[in-house]
Structure 1
Amino acid sequence: MILRFIASVALIMLLSACAPAPALSGAGASSTAATPVASPTPTAVSDIPIVSSAPTPVRAAVPPVRVQIVAAGIDVEVIPVGIEPGGFMELPPNPAIAGWYRFGPDPWSADGNTVIAAHIDAPDYPIGPFANLRDLPADAEVTVTGADGSTASYGVVTLTYYPKQDLPTEELFARQGTKALVLITCGGAFDSSTGHYEDNVVVVAAPRT
């Protein structure tokens, strides 16, 4: 799952306006020299609101630490993960532990998908809890607990098998325009020649209010 995210930065310009200094004018020219009159001091005027150019403080992420799905018997620890040198999302080697993609949103972000993934199995380990994702009923409740003790509740919307080469990574790892929990593991037929499963099992769940 190759990930390429480009961050954009908004620049806020500070505007101000001043009224021009008033010009002197005379009425009825006289043949005698007029007494000089001192010009009034110009008064600065600004009728355009001033907008602070200070950057908005960055919200600290709340790492998810546990995913629970009672309907599927899933109760799994979650740790933050990043990207492997080859450009793929890291996964904990133990299938009993899932990884939260720490460069993306968390469940309490205002926007974007929270992505949590785990192996279905691995050498020297038993079958992992995410093997039960393929049996999830529609609208099953998913509870995510954060490192600060807060919880977020979701309802399962879709369960999809994708051939690994067709996984819609940009859609699943979206950071804007959507807000969902995405759970990913392996599935489908096992290819003994490569030691990998042919598909990815993807569960998308929507927040519950």
Structure 2
Amino acid sequence: MTDATKGDVLPTEALAPEGDIPGLVRIPAPETPAPEPPAEPEAPEVAEPVRLRVPAIGVDTDLLHLGLNDDGSLAVPPREGPDNLKASWYDGSPRAGEVGPTVLAGHIDSKAGPSVFYRLGELEPGDEVLVDRADGTTATFVVDTSERYPKDDFPTRRVYGQTPDAQVRLITCGGVFDRDSGHYQDNTVVYGHLVDG
């Protein structure tokens, strides 16, 4: 709207600061949609993890790609046979190098003896965790900490929850072996963050 004497555009609130002006018909201002945020460039797709190397504890293994069991628990490599000695990547977690926790699991042992993560609890801050990807690249993580939790008090959100950067979780059993149940009472979880790749 304009003031006939000046030809200026008046802000809507200047028309009726104390109330309505007789005979004035208010027309609501059109809703202006908020500007779209600039599109972030898409990050190139990260290749699937295929191999795990942890030099400090002598691990060098192919990675199985596993999901969840029917009960919603994390699937792990078979307890018997040649795949017992392999680690697995939880394919519902980010690929190594993507934002979030890349989850890798493996057995501590089996009836046949030590398995892939037998020495996982020996890892110390600063030890390297190398995850080779299908495209020939490698994501290098360093260990931040290693924790052991009772299985009935497992910190699901801390282990699997979203993180602000690329991280890794290595998970195995630990603590006391319960012969009646055939399972260990605890889980060992190693936490690390991406330093290269």
**TM-score interval, normalised by the smaller of the two chains:** 0.7 to 0.9
- Specify the alignment match of 1:115 in structure 2: 103
Q: Specify the code of the residue in structure 1 equivalent to 2:72.
A: G
User: What TM-score, normalized to structure 1?
Assistant: 0.69
RMSD: 3.0
Check whether the contact 1:182–1:204 (CA below 8 A) recurs between aligned residues.
Answer: yes
Deviation of the 1:189 alpha carbon:
0.7
Bigger radius of gyration: 1
Give me the whole-angstrom Cα distance separating, in 2, the residues matched to 1:141 and 1:99: 18
Check whether the contact 2:100–2:167 (CA below 8 A) recurs between aligned residues.
Answer: yes
Deviation of the 1:140 alpha carbon:
0.8
Check whether the contact 1:139–1:155 (CA below 8 A) recurs between aligned residues.
Answer: yes
Are 1:95 and 2:84 an aligned pair?
A: yes
Give me the whole-angstrom Cα distance separating, in 2, the residues matched to 1:182 and 1:144: 12
Check whether the contact 2:97–2:166 (CA below 8 A) recurs between aligned residues.
Answer: no
| C-alpha spacing 1:59/1:126, structure 2 compared with 1 (3 Å) | farther
Check whether the contact 1:105–1:175 (CA below 8 A) recurs between aligned residues.
Answer: no
Check whether the contact 1:104–1:175 (CA below 8 A) recurs between aligned residues.
Answer: no
| Unpaired segments ≥5 residues, structure 1 | 1-19, 21-46
State, as a whole percentage, how many aligned pairs show the same letter: 35
Check whether the contact 1:82–1:101 (CA below 8 A) recurs between aligned residues.
Answer: yes
User: What TM-score, normalized to structure 2?
Assistant: 0.73
2:93 to 100, 104, 113: 104
- Specify the alignment match of 2:194 in structure 1: 207
| C-alpha spacing 1:49/1:163, structure 2 compared with 1 (3 Å) | closer
Are 1:72 and 2:60 an aligned pair?
A: no
Q: Residue 100 of structure 2: SS of its match in structure 1? A: coil
- Specify the alignment match of 1:193 in structure 2: 180
Q: Residue 170 of structure 1: SS of its match in structure 2? A: helix
Deviation of the 1:173 alpha carbon:
0.9
Deviation of the 1:121 alpha carbon:
2.0
Q: Report the count of equivalent residues.
A: 166
